[in-house]
Amino acid sequence: MKKTGFQRKQRGVALLAVLWLTVALSAMALATSYLVRTEVEAAGNRIEAAQGYFLARGAVEAAVDSMARSTFLPPAAAGGTGPRPEFAAGQRWLRYDFPGGRCVVEVVPENAKLNANFASPEQLAALFRALGVSPAESAELGRAIEDWRSPRLSEQGSVFDAYYAGLPRPYRARHAALEQLEELLPVKGMSRELFFGGMEETRAGEWLRRPPLADLLTVTVTGGAVNPNYAPQEVLVSLPGWDAANAAEVLAVRERTPFESPGEVAAVAPSIADGNASSSLTIAQGPFYTLTATCSQPDSPESPESKVRRSVRALVEIAANRPLYHQVMAWWDDWPFPNEPPQALMSGGQAGRN
């Protein structure tokens, strides 16, 4: 029987419908496949992040143990004829290879930072200038911090008290010693960008990391002097008699070998050899340390290191006069600002020392 034009048209419409249905089903299958793959990768990342967290906790405990045991090594070990200490004065990084992954711990004694309760407004201003804040804003912020931490001198208060009282949501200044560094956030002139640090683009088009204030300031009692083996450049340039050239020279020398006395530092930077500059230095380290552990897990033989990293930070006290004693003073479960460890430590090299 000869098909009519209407029947042929019906067959064409049915064919188009089948083709469109095939395309739709294919798109749905691809979308489902993509979603499944994405969920699998996300689940894998969450698993690796959880594993990294517990590895990082273990790395902090391992670092505390290494440092505490090194404090009480017998004299023969310290002299070089016995077992080599896992942690030595001036050492900044410890690496641990666990069955589940590799961890690097950054060790920074608290006396590598300026004490926010005792640093002069001039020192604080120099620190903020080194972070890129304008001289006028740096000077005012230094004075504001001094006012914030100092007892109130009169009922009338200061110009800073008047500023806080005139805000849409007024508040009172602390007027007492800081107990947590975060108490600086409400200070006049302090911004979250300055406090937490971050990446900024220079005029040359390069990206520069600005450290958080937690890497530069402390509220832990440290005695006032700064340890040049660990202090960041921003802290060094804030010390009396220091400038950027002195700080850069000291940083270059300590990368090769740690300083063993303030006199060695003065020999590298003769312009800081006067009494005020040398008295602001100490080589002593303890008893308070900031430990930041960054961990990653092996991925596969083709990609030996996972891209997922997890960092935790702890402020610990390791007492030199109490064998194997330590106390965790503060803990940050997910530290978002770890310093980049040396590539040799993350990809290979000798575990435990660098």
| pLDDT at residue 2 greater than cutoff 70 | no
pLDDT in tens, 61-83: 999 998 888 766 554 444 555 55
CA atoms of 76 and 85, how far apart (whole Å)? 11
* pLDDT greater at residue 206 or residue 127: 127
pTM of the model: 0.80
* pLDDT greater at residue 209 or residue 302: 209
Peptide bond connecting 287 to the previous residue in cis, omega within 30 degrees of 0: yes
- Segment holding 218, helix H or strand E: strand 217-218
pLDDT in tens, 244-279: 888 999 999 998 889 988 888 888 877 776 655 567
Name the superfamily (CATH) of residues 43-111+285-347.
GSPII I/J protein-like (3.30.1300.30)
Q: Residue 180's closest CA among 326, 329, 313? A: 329
What are 58's two structure tokens? Answer: 């273990």
- Strand 114-115 relative to strand 217-218, pairing: parallel
> Do the beta carbons of residue 348 and residue 301 sit within 8 Å?
no
Q: Which residues pair with 56 in a beta bridge?
A: none
Query: How many other C-beta atoms can be found within 10 angstroms of the C-beta atom of residue 148?
Result: 23
- Phi/psi of residue 285, nearest 5 degrees: -115, -50
End-to-end Cα separation, the chain, in angstroms: 91
What are 34's two structure tokens? Answer: 């993509």
Query: How many other C-beta atoms can be found within 10 angstroms of the C-beta atom of residue 58?
Result: 17
CA atoms of 102 and 104, how far apart (whole Å)? 7
Q: Per CATH, the architecture of 114-279 is what?
A: Orthogonal Bundle (1.10)
Could you tell me the pLDDT band of residue 300, with boundaries at 50, 70 and 90? very low
| pLDDT at residue 299 greater than cutoff 70 | no
Q: Break the chain into its structural domains and give their ranges.
A: 43-111+285-347, 114-279
In 208-235, which positions are buried (b, 16+ CB within 10 angstroms) versus exposed (e)? eebbbbbbbbbbbebeebbbbbbbbbbb
Asked if the domains at 43-111+285-347 and 114-279 fall in one CATH topology, the answer is: no
Enumerate the H helices of 86-243 as residue ranges. Answer: 121-130, 135-149, 159-165, 192-196, 233-236
CA atoms of 113 and 232, how far apart (whole Å)? 8
pLDDT in tens, 275-293: 555 678 888 887 899 999 9
| pLDDT at residue 7 greater than cutoff 60 | no
Residues in the chain, total = 354
| Cα dihedral sign, 341-80-86-115 | negative
Q: Residue 240's closest CA among 108, 127, 109? A: 127
CA atoms of 111 and 4, how far apart (whole Å)? 95
pLDDT in tens, 86-123: 788 889 999 998 888 889 999 999 999 999 999 999 99
Give the CA distances from residue 162 to residues 136, 155, 157, 170, 292, in Å, rounded to whole numbers and listed in that order: 20, 11, 7, 10, 40
> Do the beta carbons of residue 104 and residue 94 sit within 8 Å?
yes
